[in-house]
Structure 1
Amino acid sequence: MRSFPLLSALAIVPAMLATSPGCSAGGNDSVFDPATHKGGSGGSSGNQGGGGSGNTGGTIITTEDSGPPCELRCSADLHQVIDCHDVVTVTCPATQGCGQGGKCTDPCSAAQANKSTLGCDFYSLPPSPETETPGSCFAALIANTWTSPISITVEYQGQQLDVGNLARVPVGSGTSITYQPLQNGQLGVGEVGILFLSQGPPNGMLHVGCPAGTASGINSDPALLGTGFVNAFHITTSAPIVAYDIYPYGGAPSYVSSATQLIPTPAWGTNYIAADAYEVDPNLVSFGGMPFVQIVAAQDDTTVTISPTSAIVGGGGVNPTGAGQPQDYKLNRGQAVQFLQNAELAGSPISSDKPISVWGGTGCMYVPLGVYACDSGHQELLPVSAMGFAYAAVRHRGRSGQEENAPWTLIGAVDDTQLVYEPSAPPGAPDTVGSGQMVRFNASEPFIVKSQDDKHPFYLSAVMTGGDNGHSGMGDPEWVNSVPPAQYLAHYLFLTDPTYGNTNLVFVRQKAKDGTFKDVTLDCVGVLGDWQPVGNEGQYEYTRVDLNVGGQPQGACDNGVHIADSEAAFGLTVWGWDSYVSYAYTAGMSTQPINTVVVPPVPK
């Protein structure tokens, strides 16, 4: 919360997630056609079946009388090969993972073939800050989901940074967490590491440095307050991890952070629909409280084309263009173009000739407009090919004891996308959207929304409202992607921020292929209960679990590192809040292509 008239609180998160290091055939497993080796979307699977020889790979042998080939898929943790009967045919050796065509291969190649938030190659860049936070601590959090310790490298502007200096492991729980150096220069099995990427000299009332006793990769501010070109940090590992970034790192007392799950580069695409956190409040413009979009390249000489829904003002070397008028931008490896302006670019189609990734966010937002306090937000977005055509929309528990009437943002990718809702459409929710059309509406209860088919994907996200919106100062605006059920996982390793007094986990499960709901376990609870239906067709249920309420641990649960898993895929979103501050992040997702839609940036 800002301490002067245009108050703000910005969200913070040490967040982390991923598939569990254990071997399981469960989850949204990656499917391979043995004839074409073409990846596709998988479903959940059981744990039945025995292991196989670790060195034989995943070859299928058929005869003339055996019928069509049996599809192979990889378990969510990449350790096993599973056939179309949900039988584990091969357990890969500890030094390998299930990869292309169901073959056991090196772990990073396996992760690249499977396309999820599990990977070995990431980029991270800070959001455009509001004017009181420049130079604050920028960090990435990574979880080792593999079966052996991993090595880490970090580069910035082509220079390798000292990982032994900038990397730390959080030890303990709650407010007793300390930051320890890596053991033997590696991150251990099941550990979460924090990479303190940067911090600059204090340059504002809300500047937050990295924790005492830690050091950052660079001692300058890599963020840009405005439109222009910036550089991203490049993080690589020797085996798959899951990663987030946080700006600033510092906890609830800082009031100035937001976080996002990071998408590994093999899951990047060449076609996106832009999204951002929320519309601008005119009273926040002078403090940098404007929506932004960032586009990052992984390869040199990448051409990016955007057809903006609003005119791009330009500046800082970025050429302007009118609404609906496509504009090209050239990027090199690790370089990003950033658009920060009053007019939202949400809904703008973006294409490229080489893989890119797109971030959206805001420096600070009032939700609703004019209601204190303001908070930041940023999210890395999925490409169009990974967007869903059905979502189960469930937010955090009500901060004041009842369900909250708060905004959802929906953006269409294809014209004539027809939407249906369960149990009914919230007031103001659209029944049809066009390509690039954005609609915000409030809902006071969980709901299901889906389009007519996978040729009509769309984007959905949730927004938390400000602390003065009937919540006695608890929490503040935050923005988080919604994960389509087709991209759920079966295992999550994640970290919740120890400085927040309230941490609420939201679980959503879908009926498995056998028509039953599978148990979901959380390490500090065991098997979860109190499941409630979402919609009226009996296909989805949700439950919520508090780790901490009012600064008090709940049973055996407290903030820190946690594991959740099931035999079948489920969704998990983490929400945290305290006095005029909040954060949220999705605890993992698959990024498999689940549609074949392309949205070209043509003139409009």
Structure 2
Amino acid sequence: MSRSQIYRRALPLVFGLTCSVVSVGACADERDAFDPQDRTFDLDASSADAPSCLVECSLDGRSIIDTCTGAVVETCRPELACGGAKCQEPCAAAAADRSSNGCEFYFQMPRMTKKYPHSCEAAFIVNTSTQPVTLSLVRDGRPIDISSSLFRAEVGSSTLAPLLGPIPAGESALLFVSDSPPQSGLPLDYIACPSEVTPATTVDTVPEGTGIGSSFLLTASVPIALTSMYPFGGAPSIVPTATLVLPVATWAKEHMIVNGWAASRTGDPSVQIVAAEDDTEVSILPKADIEDGARVVGTLANNKATYRLAKGEHLQIVQSAELTGSLVTSSKPTTLFGGNSCARIPGTASACDVLSQQIPALEQWGAEYVGVGYRPRLGNEHEPVYYRIVAARDGTRLDYDPAIPPGAPTTMNAGEVVQFSQGTGDAFVVRTQDSEHPIYVSAHMTGGAGNDTNVGAPGSAQSFFGWGDPEFVNVVPAAQYLSSYSFYADHSYPETSLVVVRRSSGGEFKDVWLECAGNLPSWKPVGTRGQYEFTRVDLARRGGPGDSFGEGGDTRVCRTGLQRMRSEGPFTATVWGWAQYASYAYPGGFAQRKLVEMPFAPIN
């Protein structure tokens, strides 16, 4: 199980104090005098009056340890796990830990338009516990039989074998959630589930455009990590995407809409707002008009709109007017999935792709991020990667290291979104003045084929001879890095790049271990402050194996499939896969700690 890393002289969040356990800056009240030219952080500024030693969970989640000596204070019983610095039932421990591991998850297809066929929808599941896990799937309050839909996923292999019984501790599985019913005449871009698979359902409950739909509820007996992939094996589908799914225990009542990209002639911005409880009232203060839809009454910009959702329902809004930056509040915890029905990035690009990412709640947004892209598609480290920054509060000031990227903002107000491009290898750090001025950052792959000659005006889209296509992914805040990850790289993509960023801990960088490689080499600095480094690993190249490590009989080769990583320090890992006119990306996991204490203005 991934555990939150708590360092000596840093105050742990689980004790209700005001600094994040992995915060890269001082507390908010000590950063109000933020100097954009300041190149240092005082990691201990918040701990002058704090006790020098506390207790925390061990990295493996099996014991409680002293933060100063590392000595074991208490070993958890086999049926328990450590979370919130105490031994408790595993699902409760995961909820206290506030990470992407959990026991209850809601998700749905990002099929916001029906002009693309209902292809194979799958979920990749990693058992992050020390006990076997059993799963159940429900939609519209009715259980769904998954006994013929669960398959083993082996390390470094694309071979599927039926999984009978629970998922063993530390192992993984693929759950084939839905597909079109067997029929003839399906279009060429339809991607079926593997022939040996029986999908759990063949019914699509996501509305066409704006409307109310229903989501899947996946429940696990012990904590898991979950990724939704649509379509599975989707490189030939042309419109694939994937998202890390966040557990219900980390949901909140304050959000800001983040769409995947602006509208184009092929696709519109989208958002799916999901409720986990009956009688959930959702209020939106939209930055643009909300258009009417099925069971949805729209409203004018800057006028409050309120909707009521039942357990497992989602409100989907798909329209040309982007709603990014619109505040959302709810009477009970909710979550948002932002996307686009088929985005062109940039708008003049000639090919589009579906976008979908689950967006963390406002209280989980960070004040510092590292931007670095995938391995360049054609070898040029200055290949443009688009970044979008969304500000949560007025008066947000931004500082960059080593330099301000062209077009990047230095001041922003609440709900403002700014996009700019930076070379995929031109890594940078962006930070705000304090944790009470959080931002959201996303990274975007551009279309693979250059400008659309039908647009009628010169464009800025670069051609990559069809390799890759639009995709967007959450950039993980530095304060939400974890110390271990397990994730799946889809074997149908001939190119797969793993991007790893680590942060210094105690004045040094800790080794990062990848199962197929050992301790990763070839780290490059990010910026001038000496706080971050990055490296990349190919998991697939030109349709074959990825990077190899070691020599002679000790040579190890990385491949797609199940990946496992760990370190004694904080790091993040994002997987990018691409093929001809197709791509997907998602972070391998991240913490969901509450980083923002001050509530946001109510919607009136």
Mapping for residues 110-121 of structure 1, pairs under 5 Å: 110-121=93-104
Task: Name the residue aligned to 1:509.
Answer: 502
| Structure 1 position 320 matched with structure 2 position 298 | yes
Per the alignment, do residues 27 and 472 of structure 1 end up closer, same or farther by CA in structure 2, a change over 3 Å counting?
farther
Looking at structure 2, the residues matched to 533 and 108 of structure 1 have their Cα atoms a distance apart, in angstroms, of 38
Task: Provide the identity percentage.
Answer: 39
| 1:42–1:73 contact (8 Å) kept in structure 2 | no
Distance 1:497 1:408 in 2: 24
Could you say which residue in structure 1 is the equivalent of 2:591? Answer: 590
| Bigger shift: residues 243-252 or 528-537 | 243-252
Secondary structure (helix, strand or coil) at the match of 2:366 reads coil
Partner of 2:358: 380
Q: Which residue of 2 aligns with 1:301?
A: 279
Give per-residue Cα distances to partners, 1:200-248, cap 9 Å, x unaligned. 2466542222111111222222222210000010011111100011122
Task: Give matches, 1:139-150, under 5 Å.
Answer: 139-150=122-133
Aligned residue among 455, 466, 479 for 1:473: 466
Taking structure 1 as the reference length, the TM-score comes to 0.87
* Corresponding residue of 1:95: 79
Amino acid at match of 2:473: V
Matched, 1:546 2:526: no
Q: Which residue matches 2:389?
A: 410
Q: Structure 1 residue 484 and structure 2 residue 477: aligned?
A: yes
Alignment counterpart, residue 447 of structure 1, candidates 413, 421, 428: 428
Structure 2 Cα separation of the partners of residues 319 and 477 of structure 1: 31
Which stretch of the first structure deviates more once superposed, 482-491 or 187-196? 187-196
Q: Which has the higher contact order (CA 8 A, sep 6+)?
A: 1
Please state whether the residue corresponding to 1:110 is helix, strand or coil. helix
Distance across 2 between alignment mates of 1:329 and 1:274: 15
Q: In structure 1, what is the equivalent of residue 168 of structure 2?
A: 188
CA contact (8 A) 1:262 1:380 kept: yes
Partner of 1:16: none
Q: 1:316 & 1:25 partners in 2: Cα distance?
A: 43
Distance of 1:584 and 1:27 partners within structure 2: 28
Whole-angstrom CA distance in 2 between matches of 1:128 and 1:254: 13
1:368 aligns with one of 346, 365, 375:
346
Cα root mean square deviation, aligned: 2.2
Query: Does the aligned pair in 1 maintain the 2:155–2:563 contact within 8 Å?
Result: no
Whether contact under 8 Å (1:78, 1:111) holds in the other structure is: no
Count of paired positions? 549
Q: Mark the CA change 1:388 to 1:262 in structure 2 (over 3 Å): closer, same or farther.
A: same
Change (3 A) 1:507 1:212: same
Structure 2: distance between partners of 1:348 and 1:337: 15
For 1:39 and 1:106, the matched residues in 2 are separated by 26
Contact 1:25/1:567 (8 A) holds in 2: no
Unmatched runs of 5 consecutive residues or more in structure 2:
24-49, 450-461, 549-556
What is the distance in 2 between the residues matched to 1:308 and 1:75?
44
Residue 31 of structure 1 deviates from its aligned partner by 6.9
Q: Which residue of 527, 531, 538 corresponds with 1:535?
A: 527
Equivalent residue letter for 2:67: C
Separation (CA, whole Å) in 2 of partners of 1:250 and 1:28: 40
Deviations 1:371-399 (A, max 9, x none): 12211110001011110000011110111
> Which residue number in structure 1 is paired with residue 554 of structure 2?
none
For residue 76 of structure 1, report the CA deviation from its aligned partner: 4.8
Measured in 2, the distance between the counterparts of 1:76 and 1:227 equals 44
Change (3 A) 1:335 1:549: same
The equivalent of 2:236 in structure 1 is: 253
Q: Distance in 1 between matches of 2:312 and 2:275?
A: 6
Deviates most, 326-335 or 73-82:
73-82
1:166 aligns with 2:167: no
CA deviations over 1:92-132 (Å, ceiling 9, x no partner): 122111134x2211101111111100111111111134444
1:393-450 deviation line (CA, Å, top 9, x unaligned): 1110111101212210000000010001111111111110100001111112111100
1:518 paired residue number: 510
Partner residue in 2 for 1:178: 159
Q: Summarize the Cα distance change of 1:172–1:85 in structure 2 as closer, same or farther, 3 Å threshold.
A: closer
- Contact between 2:18 and 2:597, CA under 8 Å: does it hold in 1? no
The match for 1:5 is none
Checking the alignment, whether the CA contact within 8 Å between 2:282 and 2:331 is kept in structure 1 is yes
Matching residue of 2:401: 422
Whole-Å separation in 2 of the counterparts to 1:140 and 1:565:
22
The one-letter amino acid paired with 2:315 is V
Q: Counterpart of 1:141 in structure 2: which amino acid?
A: F
Superposed CA deviations along residues 473-507 of structure 1, whole A, max 9, x for unmatched, are 11111100000111011111111111111111111
Once the two structures are superposed, residues 503-530 of structure 1 have per-residue CA deviations (whole angstroms, 9 ceiling, x without a partner) of 1111101110x20011111111111111
Verify the 8 A CA contact 1:466 1:580 in the aligned structure 2.
Answer: yes
Give the match for residue 321 of structure 2. 343
For residues 239 and 374 of structure 1, the distance between their equivalents in structure 2, rounded to whole angstroms, comes to: 38
Paired residues for 1:208-223 under 5 Å: 208-223=191-206
* Equivalent residue, structure 2, for 1:459: 440
Kindly provide the amino acid, as one letter, of the partner of residue 537 in structure 1: R
CA 1:577–1:344 in 2, change beyond 3 Å: closer, same or farther? same
Counterpart amino acid of 1:430? P
Instruction: Give the letter aligned to residue 159 of structure 1.
Output: R
Equivalence for 1:435: 414
CA distance in 2, matches of 1:39, 1:240: 27
In 2: Cα distance, 1:463 partner to 1:571 partner = 17
Matches within 5 A, 1:39-188: 41-43=20-22, 68=51, 70-85=53-68, 87=70, 88-100=72-84, 102-171=85-154, 173-174=156-157, 177-183=158-164, 185-188=165-168
Residue 14 of structure 1 corresponds to which residue in structure 2? none
2:210 equivalent in structure 1: 227
1:456 alignment partner AA: H
Instruction: Give the alignment partner of residue 331 of structure 1, picking from 298, 304, 309.
Output: 309
- Conserved 8 A contact 1:133-1:205: no
Residues 147 and 159 of structure 1: CA distance in aligned 2, closer, same or farther (over 3 Å): same
Contact 1:349–1:599 under 8 Å retained in 2: no
**TM-score, length of structure 2 as denominator length:** 0.87
**Cα deviation, residue 75, structure 1:** 3.5
Distance of 2:387 and 2:6 partners within structure 1: 27
**C-alpha distance in 1 between matches for 2:59 and 2:243:** 21
The alpha carbon displacement at 1:314 in A equals: 1.8
Secondary structure at 1:318's aligned position in 2? Answer: coil
Whichever residue aligns with residue 463 of structure 2, its letter is: G
1:497 aligns with 2:490: yes
